[in-house]
Amino acid sequence: MTAPEGEVTKSPGAILDGGSGPEGRGAGTEPRNETINRQSLEAQAADLLRRQILRGQLRAGERLLETPIADRFALSRGTIRAALRRLIEEGLVCHVPYTGYQVVDFSDHDLWELYTLRGALESLATRLAALRIDEHGIRQLRAAFAQLLAAAQAQDHEGADRLDRELHKLIIRLSGHERLLQHYVRVENQFRVYIALSNREVDAREICESHRELVESICAGDADRAEKLARANIVPPERIPKRGV
């Protein structure tokens, strides 16, 4: 199968980590099906751009030019365009007439919407999780918190951010409310930006300690207190430092 014009065929790993192509594969590794590789290029490009946005390497309002990105990743402009469209659907990128693609710059109203929506979804999920928690759920929740605690004590800010998100998503799952989870997933990456902005100037240990009581309230089945703490743990938009994702 011939690669699209302008696209250099590489292994998926080479795009994400800048590593070598097939020669970097371990002995005995079978080359992947070319069609599968091609289909995954768009997803991998989207993953890399998403990470750069969430880490602040691509800042709010920054233009995303197809050709330089395609040259950097050794991919076609069509593949990059498809990746950018994925990120538009996730609310991380927008397309401005006569300008092109750029990283979304959340307005004060956008942040208010994310704050109130996250508060509504997570407080309901937390209440439901506390009402239905069982021994297996308690073990899962405490294990997730222990990982967050370890990252915080090691001052691993990026790891703490990731484990913070994973803890919140676990609580959503423990609610047993599939439709709530589906709605949460639709805006999850925008919540990730909100969390990253909220945590940017906060000590990782402070992030961790703010969740200890929440976790214990859920494990104790105290739905009223857990719901209240879930809302209190979300930083309001007026306390978010000057932006620049």
> Candidates 1.10.620.20, 1.20.120.530, 3.30.1360.70, 1.10.1740.10; correct CATH number of 108-239?
1.20.120.530
Cβ distance 168 to 118 under 8 Å?
Answer: no
At residue 119, does pLDDT exceed 70? yes
Q: How would residue 54 be classed by pLDDT, with cut points 50, 70 and 90?
A: confident
pLDDT (tens digit, 9 = 90+) per residue, 203-226? 777 778 879 999 999 999 999 999
Percent of the chain predicted with pLDDT > 90? 56
Is the pLDDT confidence value at 194 over 80? yes
CA distance 142 to 95: 42
Q: Which pLDDT belongs to residue 93?
A: 95
Of 115, 136, 137, the residue nearest 126 (C-alpha) = 137
CATH topology of domain 12-103: Arc Repressor Mutant, subunit A (1.10.10)
pLDDT higher than threshold 50 for residue 148: yes
User: How many angstroms separate the Cα of 212 from the Cα of each of 145, 204, 206, 229?
Assistant: 8, 13, 10, 10
Q: Is the pTM of this model over 0.85?
A: no
Contact 131, 224 (CB under 8 A): no
Domain with CATH 1.20.120.530 in the chain: 108-239
Measured between alpha carbons, how far is residue 18 from residues 66, 90, 242 in Å? Answer: 19, 25, 32
The share of the chain scoring above pLDDT 70, in percent, equals: 81
Provide CATH 1.10.10.10 ranges for the chain. 12-103
